[in-house]
Amino acid sequence: MERLKDFLESVRPKIDQFMLEVLRGEPERLYEAARHLPSKGGKRLRPALVLLVAKALGGTTEAALPAAASVELLHNFTLVHDDIMDRDEMRRGVPTVHVVYGEPMAIIAGDLLYAKAYEALLRSPQGSDIVKQMAEELTWAAVTVAEGQAMDMMFEERWDVTEEEYLKMIEKKTGALFGTSAALGALAAGRPELKDLLKEFGLILGKAFQIKDDVLSLVGDEKVTGKPKYNDLREGKKTILVIYALRNLPADEAEELKRVLGKRDATYEELERAAELIKKSGALDYAYKLAEEYERRAYEILGSLPTADEEALATLKELADFAVKREY
């Protein structure tokens, strides 16, 4: 994935500079809280997706940069509020915003990041017709992500979540912003007629990405992911792994797994045992296959694009591949 790595390295400073530029203001403590998470790294996959799609369709990085910064700001806004709701204390290897700044300030910092996502987007150099469409896309993503987050949270209280419901939930929670990122790339390149196709591509890619995220929460190395292992189990998240395991384990082992899921004060041994049961059920293999199937469909769409830049297209393919093969 050398292409992707080089590309991310070359655009990251531009994305970060644009983001930090709109995150200057007063009161200083609020802006400090808003900068906390964006300044602690992150993969920048969503803005990279905007920039790569724009480039692949003949646009420039400069013209797509405000939209790229915008989706990353929106993403960070959702993370800040999500961490409060899930009571998560670590992300990107550092304490979360509400842990450092307190919950009230973290709520406003999230709100500010959201507003700044629009501020960044509205600086796009395209004509008003295109910029209006961009704002519609960003709004659709914000609405849909909120719906997905609510579903994710409500699923914690239920044992009967189906795979179909799960797939709907991750399409909203994660797919929507990937979809919007790709759509914004098409708009930034002045190709509104390709917006819907690219959105479809992003949605599928986002689902593959989320499935891999679920897998990493179970088998990832927390030094590499930056998030505490087994968080999903402790919070009772109905991931594809849990849904598969509960359906396929013998009744007594399914019951044993259920006793640990959502147990906030579960011991590490209990969590390890729950993870072992999930692995035993064959859930990891099932999840990998599902993610790979999405990757394959994402490739298909890429293959059908009228591409202006073969190098950017090849990098996009690596990005789709990375979503599934990554270790962080």
Contact positions vs its own copies (CB under 8 A): 25-27, 29-30, 81, 84-86, 103-105, 107-108, 110-112, 114-116, 118-119, 122, 127-129, 131-132, 135-136, 138-139, 142-143, 146-147, 149-151, 153-154
Closer to its own copies at the Cβ: 56 or 79? 79
Closer to its own copies at the Cβ: 62 or 129? 129
Closer to its own copies at the Cβ: 143 or 219? 143
Closer to its own copies at the Cβ: 85 or 224? 85
Beta strands in the chain (DSSP E): 90-91, 94-95
178 contacts 206 by C-beta, under 8 angstroms:
yes
- Kindly state the smallest distance separating residue 45's Cβ from its own copies, in Å: 22
Burial of 307 (0-12, 13-18, 19+ CB in 10 A): middle
- Kindly state the smallest distance separating residue 118's Cβ from its own copies, in Å: 4
- Kindly state the smallest distance separating residue 111's Cβ from its own copies, in Å: 5
Give Cβ neighbours of residue 143 (< 8 Å, ≥ 6 apart): none
- Kindly state the smallest distance separating residue 170's Cβ from its own copies, in Å: 14
> What's the rounded Cα separation, in Å, for the pair 85 and 87?
6
> Cα 45–27–88 angle (5° rounding)?
45
Closer to its own copies at the Cβ: 147 or 222? 147
Report the b/e string of 43-52 with b at 16+ CB within 10 A: bbbbbbbbbb
Name the residue with tokens 């049961």.
277
Closer to its own copies at the Cβ: 235 or 253? 235
- What 3-state DSSP class applies to 286? helix
- Kindly state the smallest distance separating residue 210's Cβ from its own copies, in Å: 18
Q: What is the dihedral of CA 99, 100, 103, 106, to 10 degrees?
A: -120
- Kindly state the smallest distance separating residue 269's Cβ from its own copies, in Å: 28
